């Protein structure tokens, strides 16, 4: 697996990481423990060194799985986890008080069976806590050696700059894909200016860009996509044209739509590292194969031309969640 540096932080990771959320949380029934551990270890064998988890995924169970699965290769991998929700539960609201950040760090270290967290993200910006205080709390953990690098998730331009002035931000994690390009307006230019790496989550549009979801698809009752406007039956039908264009390019390149979608992200900037998630070993193999996919300038122009002709239908978050991003 090719490697990339996240901005100017010096943090080197595999060109494609693994988003671990769906193993335990948010996308239907959690995986069986043995299957989850096998998937994580297979990713290591495939060359993945970058694993993304959070206390909120479960809560807590995802960190425990990641810790157990990777304990034997701990010095070969980079683990990112997150703080920012009350009691680790997304339903209870935000909490990025400095004392809570320290509590989360200590608990995450235990669950992950490690003595350091390579990348510690604020999961969502907390408007009740000054960003300078958040960055200062993480700075103290870095000085103590418990955390190596500071990250932000779904933060807006002002928060990024305030945080970076106190403790350099190594990586910003936000949604970015062929069907959500909002970061290109302000966030990516700021990352380039400040030397911050960018980690796209949902780089396959929560599965839609794989070509395996259409208007007739049904999701399990506890699947987050049931409340996402972009995944309504009407929106899925309307957005099918994007997948059709992507598939045509994939056929020409002897690749899959997912691989083209990931290769497109990799082609945008050398400091972008997508973290596709999956619960299926064959999908993990497919996704990591995108690191070797080569998109030429003509391919990128074809993709941009296709996107210019298509209006994606539906918001990416329900209204109550949209208020938590871009602050």
* H-only helix segments in the chain: 21-24, 33-46, 61-70, 98-111, 131-143, 157-166, 187-194, 233-238, 240-253, 257-268, 281-288, 297-308, 319-322
Give bridge partners of residue 78 from the DSSP assignment. 50
How far, in Å, CA of 325 to CA of 73, rounded?
Answer: 34
Dihedral sign for Cα 93, 94, 100, 106, please.
positive
Known catalytic residue at 57? yes
| C-alpha closest to that of 162 among 135, 125, 199, 197 | 135
Among candidate residues 57, 121, 176, 317, the one labeled active-site is 57
Give bridge partners of residue 201 from the DSSP assignment. 175
How far, in Å, CA of 71 to CA of 77, rounded?
Answer: 10
List residues with catalytic annotation. 57
């Amino acid at each position: 697996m090719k490697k990339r540096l996240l901005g100017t932080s010096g943090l080197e990771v595999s060109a494609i990481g693994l988003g671990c959320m769906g193993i335990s949380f948010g996308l239907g029934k959690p995986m069986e423990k043995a299957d989850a551990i096998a998937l994580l270890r297979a990713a290591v064998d495939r060359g993945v060194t970058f694993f993304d988890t959070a206390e909120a995924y479960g809560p807590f169970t995802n960190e425990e799985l990641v810790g157990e699965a990777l304990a034997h290769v701990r010095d070969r991998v980079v683990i990112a986890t997150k703080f920012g929700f009350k009691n680790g539960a997304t339903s209870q609201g935000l909490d990025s008080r400095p004392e809570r950040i320290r509590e989360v760090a200590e608990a995450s270290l235990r669950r992950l069976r490690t003595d350091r967290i390579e990348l510690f993200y604020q999961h969502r910006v907390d408007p009740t806590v000054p960003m300078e205080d958040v960055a200062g709390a993480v700075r103290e953990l870095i000085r103590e050696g418990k955390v190596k690098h500071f990250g932000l998730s779904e933060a807006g331009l002002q928060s990024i700059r305030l945080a970076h002035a106190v403790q350099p931000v190594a990586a910003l994690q936000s949604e970015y894909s062929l069907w959500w390009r909002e970061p290109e307006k302000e966030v990516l230019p700021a990352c380039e200016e400040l030397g911050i790496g960018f980690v796209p989550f949902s780089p396959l549009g929560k599965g839609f860009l794989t070509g395996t979801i259409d208007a007739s698809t049904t999701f399990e009752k506890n699947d987050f996509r049931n409340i996402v406007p972009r995944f309504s039956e009407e929106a899925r039908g309307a957005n099918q044209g994007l997948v059709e264009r992507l598939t045509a390019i994939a056929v020409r390149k002897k690749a899959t739509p997912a691989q083209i979608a990931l290769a497109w992200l990799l082609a945008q900037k050398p400091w972008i590292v997508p973290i596709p998630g999956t619960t299926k070993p064959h999908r993990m193999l497919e996704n990591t194969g995108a690191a070797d996919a080569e998109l030429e300038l003509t391919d990128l122009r074809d993709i941009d031309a296709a996107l210019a002709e298509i209006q994606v239908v539906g918001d990416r978050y329900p209204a109550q969640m949209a208020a938590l991003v871009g602050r």
